[in-house]
Amino acid sequence: MTTEIGFPDLPLIQAIKDGNERAISIFYKENFGRIQNLVYKNSGDADDAKDVYQESMIEVVLQIKKGKLDQLNSKLSTYLYSICYYKWIDRLRKKGRMIETGFGDEPEGAVLEEETESPYPDALEKVMSKIGEKCRDLLRAYYYDKLSMIQIAKELGYADANSAKSQKNKCMGTARHLAAITLKQFYA
């Protein structure tokens, strides 16, 4: 449900920011099954699912309380899923259990699925393939490798951290736009 143009889940984000424990609890319960399914389908067990989910929920709640998600253009559940997705990829890599399909060590190469009727994993893969190599590298460095903007600027050749941050924001805008188009095609 979109409450304002471009900002879905604004009431939920505000409730969590205000410390509404009931909102956090409901959001937690509504989304755990998807993450559990993701982990189970990809060499994980119940403890792995709980660990990844709890770490990701904590990260999302902290980002909300810091105001970093006030203008989130996707559903909060989609954002949470993507954090869980990359945390699970990271764990699989560390355990040496990542299943590859010919894409080397790229996250897109992992056979990670949500529920079969969900378009989000396919949409994410499609968007990542369309945004271009520079944007893909930048977003991967920031969201997956958790590098600072200073590190990203040095590694990817930007003039400074502000230039890298500006480019990251442009890349995210492009990714959101492509995701909206991709998801509209799925639901059409």
Do 122 and 143 touch, CB atoms closer than 8 A? no
| pLDDT range class, residue 81, cuts 50, 70, 90 | very high
Please, which contacts does 152-160 make with residues 24 or more away whose CB atoms are closer than 8 Å?
A: none
pLDDT for residue 159 is more than 90: yes
What is the percentage of the chain residues whose pLDDT exceeds 70? Answer: 80
Domain coordinates in residue numbering, the chain: 1-98, 118-188
Nearest one of 20, 75, 30 to 53, comparing CA atoms: 30
The CATH number of domain 118-188, selected from 3.30.70, 1.10.357, 1.10.3470, 1.10.10: 1.10.10
- Predicted confidence (pLDDT) per residue in 100-129, tens digit: 333 333 343 344 443 345 556 677 778 888
- Amino acid sitting at position 92: L
What are the backbone angles phi and psi of residue 99, rounded to the nearest 5°? Answer: -90, 125
- For the question of whether the overall pTM of this predicted structure is more than 0.85, the answer is no
Other residues' Cβ atoms within 10 Å of the Cβ of residue 86: 20
Residue range 1-98 forms a domain whose CATH class is: mainly alpha
How does DSSP classify residue 99?
Answer: -
Classify each residue of 145-179 as buried b or exposed e, where b means 16 or more C-beta atoms within 10 Å of its C-beta.
Answer: eebebeebbeeeebeeeeebbebbeebbebbeebb
Give the pLDDT of residue 128: 82
